[in-house]
């Protein structure tokens, strides 16, 4: 997953797997940094080797998601579905 931040909160990339049977989540990689602009977020994703992986990103930042997809080749990124009052 990808959560966008900038000034005070970091942009955070969390890579995980979910065991549907046991409902356990396994986090196997992460990266985070404050002050990243879109091209730096794309570089972080590419440097980690996840640019071809499915990425669920913070739906509050649809413009950034579209920039990552169209300008930086992160084609499998999509917006998260948020529940009521989230």
Q: What is the mean pLDDT of residues 42-52?
A: 97
* Domain range enclosing 15: 2-79
Considering its fold, how many domains does the chain have in total?
A: 1
Helix intervals (H) in the chain: 38-48, 62-72
pLDDT of residue 85: 77
pLDDT of residue 84: 81
For residue range 67-80, what is the model confidence (pLDDT) as tens digits? 999 999 999 999 99
Structure-block tokens of residue 85: 């009052």
CATH number at residue 74: 3.30.420.280
d(CA 72, CA 35): 18
Say if 85 falls within a structural domain: no
Beta bridge partners of 55: 77
Say if 45 falls within a structural domain: yes
Say if 12 falls within a structural domain: yes
In contact, 56 and 78? CB cutoff 8 Å? yes
Percent of the chain with pLDDT over 90: 91
Say if 86 falls within a structural domain: no
d(CA 25, CA 28): 10
pLDDT of residue 73: 97
- pTM, 2 dp: 0.88
Average pLDDT, the chain: 95
* Residue whose pair of structure tokens reads 């509050």 in the numeric block: 60
């Amino acid at each position: 997953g990808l959560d966008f931040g900038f000034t005070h909160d970091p942009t955070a990339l969390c890579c995980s797997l979910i065991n549907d049977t046991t409902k356990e989540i396994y986090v196997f990689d992460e990266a985070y940094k404050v002050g990243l602009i879109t091209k730096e977020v794309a570089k972080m994703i590419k440097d980690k080797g996840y640019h071809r992986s499915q990425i669920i990103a913070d739906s509050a930042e649809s413009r950034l998601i579209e920039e990552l997809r169209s300008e930086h080749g992160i084609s499998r990124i999509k917006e998260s579905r948020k529940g009521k009052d989230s």
